[in-house]
Structure 1
């Protein structure tokens, strides 16, 4: 993509922004030709955020204040206007996910980390799967399918002392590993749970957005898949794909058990008419 919007996206890419800050970034891209000449108050009104949010946004990008950001925006937007057939913001966000998937595919050229994770997860009885806040649906997705091939999957989607209790119970029942999904904005309780799991002696496999995620140092095995950050809220396309790859690795690690449990489920589902014909 060419033009001023391209330069703006390069300025924002790789930055971990809050939802309010992403609204500002989205507004700047959509109004690239005019936004660089707005005051901080006018930009705040256009993006429907507070004026201090605009100031914090400039600081998050490394500028001393909004005037410095506005000077940079004027440099980036000087020149040719946006072409009439340019993708809109929604299209750019979805197309960026294709790039995240491509990078994930490239990282999977070395199958050893995923295969190791699959063996650890398949062998753990029970298998705790952690996902808090934004990562809770990811843990639920993984737990739903893992339960079809694993006899005791325990999804942990609430933090605090109750989470620590359930980890202790899983360990007492024989758990040897824990899978954790930790996505931006990295809940402190998720980090605490990973540390507690390691304290109990569990192998910790963490799916997160970057090899240098704040929780990576406390993981025995880190598997990274980038999240999309071009909309107000993250897109989790690549982490979801990685969850599917991990499920496959679990099945590959215990093929006989997988086949037996899948056949048993199909027989039970047919008897109970779980699915429509």
Structure 2
């Protein structure tokens, strides 16, 4: 009792890596390496170029070129830099089983998200873009379906026209076209690993149709980044057989709050819904 749990240091390391990568034009292969390093932030300063290449699924020369793209003489210089700025790890406060480790990893992801939200400007901008789009299409396929569906459920209480795009196939482009014809100006996408090719293609199509794309993704280096006008990262947990997505879910709720702030009649719509719910006896409590 009373010991501060260890993953906080990992959150700090991940935040430092994100900051190091910001502002650099990285190739898709280099974004893959960056994504891998953020996901293994605690280990990154101690990985050899061969180990990092294997983890990222790229060639060893690609790791070298990645380091040079960041402004270092080579990968050893990048690794020395990471070791210099990485604080010493605190002494372990006790062993955790695999289930506890998964929970602590998610707490760590939430701490990282809280650090990113210290600058609220991107979320405020996203909220305004979503509020002014009538209709507002919300895209989420496969693993991201639940995030998109949850956002849509609540957003419909305050936004006059929210359209859930949760099925792929040839109809997806048709539904994007229909939203554009109806007056949509923005699209919100939830994109989580493994990233379906359909989502990347859908965002490319949405941008070509004139929509501003706001994306919640697991990393700023996700494959959807190059087709997003505004990307808001929220890491997923990878300690269990299937990824956990507490941070993307919470970021979706934060976006809802920002959208409500940008909708002048949001409170009136909520009160109207509550009155109808009471009249219908909709809820048990």
Superposition TM-score, scaled by structure 2 size: 0.68
Give how far 1:131 is off.
0.2
Residue 241 of structure 1 is aligned with which of 247, 250, 254?
250
Q: Is 1:258 matched with 2:283?
A: no
Superposed, 1:80-119 pairs within 5 Å as: 86-119=95-128
Q: Deviations over 1:72-114 (max 9, x none)?
A: xxxxxxxxxxx9x511011011101111000100001111100
Superposed, 1:25-36 pairs within 5 Å as: none
Residue 188 of structure 2 is aligned with which of 156, 171, 179?
179
Q: Is 1:272 matched with 2:277?
A: no
Give how far 1:219 is off.
0.4
Q: Would the alpha carbon gap of residues 62 and 154 (structure 1) be closer, same or farther in structure 2, given more than 3 Å must change? A: closer
Q: Is 1:222 matched with 2:231?
A: yes
Aligned to 1:200: 209
Q: Would the alpha carbon gap of residues 92 and 124 (structure 1) be closer, same or farther in structure 2, given more than 3 Å must change? A: same
Cα distance in 1 for partners of 2:190, 2:58 equals 32
Superposed, 1:3-82 pairs within 5 Å as: 15=36, 59-60=54-55
Give how far 1:259 is off.
1.1
Q: Which has the larger radius of gyration?
A: 1
Residue 170 of structure 1 is aligned with which of 162, 179, 196?
179
Cα distance in 2 for partners of 1:59, 1:215 equals 23
Q: Would the alpha carbon gap of residues 124 and 61 (structure 1) be closer, same or farther in structure 2, given more than 3 Å must change? A: closer
Aligned length: 207
Q: Would the alpha carbon gap of residues 89 and 195 (structure 1) be closer, same or farther in structure 2, given more than 3 Å must change? A: same
Consecutive unaligned residues in structure 1, runs of 5 or more = 3-13, 17-57, 65-82
Where do 4+ consecutive residues of structure 1 move more than 2 Å? 58-64
Cα distance in 1 for partners of 2:180, 2:223 equals 25
Give how far 1:264 is off.
1.2
